[in-house]
Amino acid sequence: MSSTSSPADAAARVAVIEALADELYEAWGARRTVPPLRERHPSLTIDDAYRISLGFMARRRAAGERIVGKKIGVTSKPVQDMLGVHQPDFGFLTDAMQVPDGGTIDIASRMIQPRAEAEIALILGAPLKGPGVTPADVLAATASLAPCFEVVDSRIDRWDIRIVDTVADNASCGLFVLGAARVPPAGLDLAALEVRVRKNGAPLSRGFGSAVQGSPLASVAWLANTLGAYGVTLDAGDIILSGSLVPLETARPGDLFELDCDALGGASVRFA
């Protein structure tokens, strides 16, 4: 939504942002979708979309959820090509989004149109605040790594999204599963780590840490610097999902997803 100098126009802009934050929060709670935001409000900017997302998450926090980390979305070329979104975005993780390793997700009660992706999660031991954060800073701040499934979801009809839609929708956050391992990053080449994914026992996909902006360290540096512009920090103890290394895969009742990631070990999640 383009900026204006008129107080009336500015107030109308804020009203639209608040209304869309309400709409997405209600859609999330009711497990239903809404038409693409960009089609109904073609003047929405990415800054507007991030403010919608912050409003959406403020409503979830007011309802009792606690922020436990952040995620980077749409970092790898396979995912960008699949969704037609060609730049990264970010979202917030809450305690209610985490599913135990080996756990089962009941789609009907928790999700709308889930897709699973394999990632490398970084768990921070020190805070990061942009601008100016480098991959070396991210490495120094990282206490441990873990293998991860993110199960993304969209409140937008049929995943018909572009950058404004997914940004506003908290980067299409759904749920996430961390594997049991907590591996210090010292001595590891994160770009060279390979993840292998199986679906219902059969090989599905494989990818490397280099799929996310060359390295998970680079993608998290991007996140810290982008969040810094909105006054948001990456905090000690935060779980940071660095982006999918493989294409997204639709999850349906009865599916079992498993991954293994070199020195980081494995993770699994089942759907019902």
Segment 7-51, tens digit of pLDDT: 888 889 999 999 999 999 999 999 999 999 999 999 999 899 999
User: How many angstroms separate the CA atoms of 181 and 188, rounded?
Assistant: 14
Measured distance CA(103)–CA(243) in Å, rounded: 21
Distances (CA, A) of 162 to 27, 48, 263: 18, 14, 35
pLDDT, position 231 = 87
Residue 163 is predicted with a pLDDT of: 87
Question: Do 128 and 234 touch, CB atoms closer than 8 A?
Answer: yes
What are the tens digits of pLDDT across the range 174-226?
A: 999 999 999 999 999 999 999 999 999 999 999 999 999 899 999 999 999 98
**Phi, psi for 125 (deg, rounded to 5):** -105, -10
Confidence of residue 70 (pLDDT cuts 50, 70, 90): very high
Q: Is 116 helix (H, G, I), strand (E, B) or coil?
A: strand
Write down the mean pLDDT value for the chain. Answer: 93
Mind listing the domains of the chain with CATH numbers? 67-271 (3.90.850.10)
Percent of the chain with pLDDT over 90: 83
Map tokens 């606690």 to a residue. 66
Instruction: Give the CA distances from residue 74 to residues 11, 59, 190, 260, in Å, rounded to whole numbers and listed in that order.
Output: 32, 24, 18, 21
pLDDT digits (tens, 9 = 90+) for 113-139: 999 999 999 999 999 999 999 999 999
Task: Output the DSSP codes for 210-258.
Answer: GGTTTSHHHHHHHHHHHHHTTT--B-TT-EEEEEESS--EE--TT-EEE
What pLDDT is attached to residue 86? 67
Residue 229 pLDDT level (bands cut at 50, 70, 90): confident
The pTM for the full model equals 0.92
- Check if the beta carbon of residue 240 is closer than 8 Å to that of residue 71: yes
DSSP code of 172?
G
